[in-house]
Chain A
Amino acid sequence: MASSTTTMLGRNFKHTLRNPVAVFNAILFPIVLLLMFVYVIGGAFDIPGKYIDYATPGMLILTICYGLSATALSVNSDMTKGIINRFKVMDISRSAVLSAHVAASLLRTVIALAAVTGVALAFGFRSPGSFTDWLGAIGLLVLVSFATTWITVALGLAAKTPESAGLVTVPLIMLPFLSSAIVPAETMAPGVRQFAQYQPFTPIIETLRGLLAGEPSGSKALVAAAWCVGIALVGYVWSLSTFKKRA
Chain B
Amino acid sequence: MTSSAITASGLRKAYKDKVVLDGIDLDVPTGTIFSLLGPNGAGKTTTVNVLTTLMKADGGTIRVAGHDVATETKAVRAAIGVTGQFAAVDELLTGRENLQLIADLKRIRPAESKQIVADLLERFDLTESAEKLSSTYSGGMRRKLDLAMTLVGRPSIIFLDEPTTGLDPRSRRTMWEIIRQLVADGVTIFLTTQYLDEADRLADRIAVLDGGRIVAQGTPAELKRQIPGSHVRLRFASDLDLETAATILTGATRDAEDDLVLRAPSDGSAKSVRDLLTHLDNHNLDVEEFSVHTPDLDDVFLALTGKTSTTDTTDTTSTTDPKVSA
Contacts and interface: CB of A to CB of B under 8 A. Distances in A.
A87 interface: yes
B149 A89 contact: no
Interface residues of A, number: 24
B54 A7 contact: no
B91 A81 contact: yes
A83 B82 CA distance: 11
B292 interface: no
A19 B92 contact: yes
Contacts, number: 63
Contacts of B52: 89
B105 interface: yes
Contacts of A82: 84-88
B88 A90 contact: no
Contact of A7 (B77, B84, B104, B150): B104
Contact of A247 (B49, B86, B87, B101): B49
Contacts of A14: 92-93, 97
A11 B89 CA distance: 12
A53 B174 CA distance: 65
The contact size tier of chain B is 20 to 34
Main secondary structure of the interface of A (DSSP, over half): helix
B149 A86 contact: yes
Given A7-B105, A85-B82, A90-B106, A15 B54 contact: no
Nearest to A7: B104
Nearest to A2: B104
B201 interface: no
Given A18-B133, A89-B52, A90-B77, A11 B101 contact: yes
Nearest to A19: B92
Contact of B53 (A1, A2, A18, A89): A89
Interface of B: 49, 52-55, 73-74, 77-78, 80, 82, 84-93, 97, 101-102, 104-107, 109, 133, 149-150
Interface of A: 1-2, 4, 7-8, 10-11, 14-15, 18-19, 81-92, 247
8 contacts: A7-B105, A14-B93, A81-B88, A85-B54, A86-B102, A89-B52, A89-B80, A92-B105
